[in-house]
Amino acid sequence: MVVVIGAAAMFFPFLWMVSTSLSSDANVFATPPRLFNSDLSSYRRLLSDFPIVRWGINSAAIAVLGTALQVGTSAMAAYGFARLEFRGREILFGVYLATLMIPFQVLVVPLFIEARYLGIIDTIPALLLPSIAWPFGVFLFRQSFRALPRELEEAAFVEGAGHWTVFRRIILPLSKPILATGAVLSFMGIWNAFLWPLVAVNSQELMTLPLGIANLQGRFVTQWNLVLAGATLSVLPIVAVYLFVQRFVIEGVASTGIKG
């Protein structure tokens, strides 16, 4: 019963968001509130008056490329920390993991200076710059890689395989669930990013969905049915991605223990 109440409490804001997005201007603040509506005028205005499709394409491109960067670099770094023996490995991993405690707001100014020095402000590469490194992903994948049996790698080494071959043909295929989990978390984080795109992008053509939705709020009056229609469209891709890899995510969470 407690679980059902908790699930209902978490689901209700999403239901209210969709309901408001389907409300007409006159019914947004109706008393008593109407939970079930079917007015699609907000979605028509979004498609006709705003470049919502362009914003969605920008967000999708940045999220897909950023996820590939984060998962790829994190998996390679995690393999190094999990399987390669070198002096100071644990200390270096601890220092790298400690960067998780640094708020992203502290990094915005250095990142902006770096992007301006490279001449990539207001470009796609500027939006992808913070996606290169992902400490949490390294930690997540390292824990999973360390749980894999070493006998498979040792057999491959005997056959003459190198670390890259072992990583590509043994570690990655055995780690599909945790890689899918990391990909979903990465995709969600990049898709919902607001602060860095706000700093790195000036032109409307490069805006992502969170930035575009923020611009739907008026200075004096806000049409909440229009804003929440944009928010609903922004949530749908995340739900679709999660449903697509749900099985792998559950397997990844179940198989990843916090081991030394």
Residuewise pLDDT in 10s, the chain (260 residues): 788 888 888 888 888 888 888 888 777 777 777 777 777 888 888 888 888 889 999 999 999 999 999 999 999 999 999 988 889 899 999 999 999 898 888 989 999 999 999 999 989 899 888 888 899 999 999 988 988 888 888 888 888 888 899 998 889 988 888 898 899 889 999 999 999 999 998 888 889 999 888 888 766 567 888 888 888 888 888 888 878 877 766 665 565 544 44
Give yes or no: residues 212 and 175 share one domain. Answer: yes
N- to C-terminal Cα distance for the chain?
A: 37
pTM for this predicted structure: 0.84
In three-state secondary structure terms, 243 is helix
88 phi-psi bin (left φ>0, alpha ψ -120 to 50, beta other): left
Give yes or no: residues 6 and 55 share one domain. Answer: no
Give yes or no: residues 226 and 164 share one domain. Answer: yes
DSSP 206: G
Give yes or no: residues 34 and 115 share one domain. Answer: no
Question: Is 115 a member of any domain?
Answer: yes
Question: Is 77 a member of any domain?
Answer: yes
Question: Is 143 a member of any domain?
Answer: yes
Question: Is 8 a member of any domain?
Answer: yes
Question: Is 260 a member of any domain?
Answer: no
Give yes or no: residues 182 and 201 share one domain. Answer: yes
Residue 28 corresponds to which tokens in the numbers above? 């947004």
How far apart are alpha carbons 18 and 231 in whole angstroms?
Answer: 9
Element housing 137 (H / E): helix 135-146
Would you tell me how many other CB atoms lie within 10 Å of the CB of residue 30? 11
**Residue ranges making up the domain that contains 177:** 49-255
How far apart are alpha carbons 45 and 223 in whole angstroms?
Answer: 11
- Measured in residues, the chain has a length of 260
Give yes or no: residues 172 and 207 share one domain. Answer: yes
Give how many domains the chain has, as a whole number.
2
Give yes or no: residues 4 and 83 share one domain. Answer: no
Give yes or no: residues 11 and 89 share one domain. Answer: no
Give yes or no: residues 54 and 35 share one domain. Answer: no
Give yes or no: residues 141 and 15 share one domain. Answer: no
What pLDDT sits at residue 177? 85
Would you tell me how many other CB atoms lie within 10 Å of the CB of residue 93? 19
